[in-house]
Amino acid sequence: MGYQNQYENWRNDPQGFWAGEARHLQWQTAPTKIFECNGSGDRWYVDGVMNTCFNCVDRHVEAGHGARIAFIHDSPMTGTKSHISYAELLDRVQCVAAMMQDKGVEKGDRVIIYMPMIAETAIAALACARLGAIHSIVFGGFAAAELATRLDDAKPKLVLAASCGLEPGRIIDYKPLLDGAIELAAHKPEACLIWQRDESPAPLIDGRDFEWQSLEGEARAADKRADCVPVLATDPLYILYTSGTTGIPKGVVRDNGGHLVALSWAMENVYNIAPGEVFWSASDFGWVVGHSFILYGPLAIGATSVIYEGKPIGTPDAGAFWRVISEHGVKALFTAPTAFRAIKKEDPQGKLVADYDLSAFKTLYLAGERVDPDTINWAEAALGVPVIDNWWQTETGWPICANPVGIELLPIKKGSPSVAMPGYELAVLDEGGKPVAANETGAIVIKTPLPPGCLPGLWQNRDGFEAAYMEDFPGYYKTGDAGFIDEDGYLYVMSRTDDIINVAGHRLSTGGMEEVLAGHGDIAECAVLGVNDALKGEVPLGLLVFNDGVNRPDAEILAECVQKIRDEIGPVAAFKLAVRVARLPKTRSGKILRGTIRKIANGEDWQMPATIDDPAILDEITEALKTLGYPPESKA
Ligand code: COA
Ligand code: AMP
Q: Please say if the pLDDT value at position 41 is more than 80.
A: no
Instruction: Decide: 85 and 70 in contact? Cβ < 8 Å.
Output: yes
Average pLDDT of the residues in 189-217: 98
Ligand nearest to the CA of 478: 2
Distance CA 204, CA 531 (A): 42
| Res. 241: pLDDT tops 70 | yes
Mean pLDDT of 242-258: 87
Q: Say yes or no: CB of residue 189 within 6 Å of ligand 1.
A: no
Residue 185, helix vs strand vs coil: coil
Which pLDDT value is given to residue 251?
97
pLDDT tens digits, 540-551: 999 999 999 999
Q: Which residue's alpha carbon is nearest to atom 17 within ligand 1? A: 571
Q: Say if ligand 1 is within 6 A of residue 167 CB.
A: yes
For residue 590, name the pLDDT band (cuts at 50, 70, 90): confident
Annotation: CATH topology of 506-635: GMP Synthetase; Chain A, domain 3 (3.30.300)
Of ligand 1's listed atoms, the one at least distance from the Cα of 573 is 22
Across the range 419-424, mean pLDDT stands at 98
Torsion on CA atoms 411, 412, 413, 415, rounded to nearest 10:
160
DSSP string, 379-428: HHHHH-S-EEE-B--TTTSS-SEE--TTT--PPP-TT---EEPTT--EEE
How confident is the model at residue 201, as a pLDDT?
98
Is residue 513 pLDDT above 50, yes or no?
A: yes
Q: Is 407 in the pocket of ligand 1 (CB under 6 A)?
A: no
Residue among 114, 289, 338, 364 to mutate when testing ligand 1 (max atoms within 8 A of CB): 338
Q: Which among 113, 116, 121 has a CA at the least distance from the CA of 71?
A: 121
Distance (Å, rounded) from C-alpha 579 to C-alpha 596?
A: 17
* Three-class DSSP category at 571: helix
Taking CA atoms only, the protein residue closest to ligand 2 atom 1 is 393
Range of lowest pLDDT (71-75, 172-176, 503-507, 588-592): 588-592
Helices (H) and strands (E) in the chain, counts: 20, 31
Q: How many CA atoms does the CB half-sphere of 109 hold within 13 Å?
A: 22
- Lowest-confidence region among 32-41, 351-360, 493-502, 584-593: 32-41
Identify the residue whose C-alpha is closest to ligand 1 atom 45: 505
Spacing, Cα 397 to ligand 2 middle (Å):
11
Alpha helices in 457-593 (DSSP H): 462-465, 510-518, 554-568
Tell which one of 242, 340, 376, 391 to mutate to probe ligand 2, the residue whose CB is within 8 A of the most ligand atoms.
Answer: 391
CA of 531 to the centre of ligand 2 (A): 16
CA–CA separation, 229 and 581 (whole Å): 58
Give the pLDDT confidence score for residue 578 in this predicted structure: 98
Domain boundaries, the chain: 3-310+390-482, 506-635
For 549-562, how does the pLDDT look when each residue is reduced to its tens digit (9 = 90+)? Answer: 999 999 999 999 99
Does residue 289 have its Cβ closer than 6 Å to ligand 1?
yes
Q: How confident is the model at residue 635 (pLDDT cuts 50, 70, 90)?
A: very low
* Terminal-to-terminal C-alpha distance of the chain: 56
CA-atom Rg of the chain in angstroms: 24
Exposed e or buried b per residue across 87-113, where buried means at least 16 C-beta atoms within 10 angstroms of its C-beta: ebbbbbbbbbbbbbbbbebeeebbbbb
Q: What is the 3-state secondary structure (H, E, C) of 149-181?
A: HHHHHHCCCEEEEECEEEECCEEEEHHHHHHHH
CB-based contacts of 495, cutoff 8 Å, min separation 6:
481, 482, 483
Residue type for 584, please? Answer: L
Give residue 356's Cα distance to chain centre. 29
- pLDDT range class, residue 636, cuts 50, 70, 90: very low
CA-to-CA separations, 223 to 42, 51, 57, 349, in angstroms, rounded? 41, 22, 19, 55
pLDDT, tens digit, 9 for 90 and up, residues 282-306? 999 999 999 999 999 999 999 999 9
User: Which atom of ligand 1 is the closest one to the Cα of 287?
Assistant: 47
CA of residue 419 to ligand 2 center, whole Å: 15
According to CATH, the topology of domain 3-310+390-482 is: Rossmann fold (3.40.50)
Closest atom of ligand 1 to 172 CA is: 2
Kindly provide the residue ranges of all beta strands, DSSP E only, lying in 266-422, ordered along the sequence: 278-281, 304-308, 332-335, 363-366, 387-389, 401-402, 419-420
Pocket test for ligand 1, best of 311, 502, 507, 533 (most atoms within 8 A of CB): 311
Query: Which of the two residues, 193 and 244, has the higher pLDDT score?
Result: 193
Q: Is the peptide bond before 417 cis (omega within 30 degrees of 0)?
A: no
* SS3 of residue 82 by DSSP: strand
Mean pLDDT of 188-201: 98
Q: Residue 39 pLDDT more than 70?
A: no
531 CB-near residues (< 8 Å, 6+ apart): 538, 539, 540, 541, 577, 598, 601, 602, 630
Give the C-alpha separation, 596 to 540, whole Å: 15
CA 454 / ligand 2 centre spacing (Å): 15
Helices 616-627/594-602 angle, 10° precision: 50
pLDDT at 40 over 80: no
Nearest CA to ligand 2 atom 19: 391
Give backbone dihedrals phi and psi of 51, rounded to 5 degrees, phi first.
Answer: -145, 130
634 pLDDT band (50/70/90 cuts)?
low
Closest alpha carbon to 144 in 97, 171, 176, 167: 176
pLDDT in tens, 362-390: 999 999 999 989 999 999 999 999 999 99
Instruction: Tell me, in angstroms, the distance from the centre of ligand 2 to residue 489's CA.
Output: 19
| Whole-number pLDDT of residue 457 | 95
613: pLDDT strictly greater than 50? yes
Residues with CB under 6 A from ligand 2: 242, 288, 367-371, 389-391, 393-394, 417, 479-481, 493, 496, 502, 507
C-alpha of residue 618 to centroid of ligand 2, in Å: 31
Give residue-wise pLDDT tens across range 129-174: 999 999 999 999 999 999 999 999 999 999 999 999 999 999 999 9
pLDDT > 80? residue 38: no
**If you average pLDDT over residues 474-488, what whole number do you get?**
97
Q: Which ligand is nearest to the CA of 505?
A: 1
Spatial separation of the C-alpha atoms in residues 21 and 409, rounded to whole Å: 21
Q: Which atom of ligand 1 is nearest to the CA of 570?
A: 21
Q: What is the mean pLDDT of the chain?
A: 96
**β-pairing verdict for 80-85 and 49-50:** unpaired
pLDDT tens digits, 98-117: 999 999 999 999 999 999 99
SS3 555: helix
**pLDDT recorded at residue 264:** 98
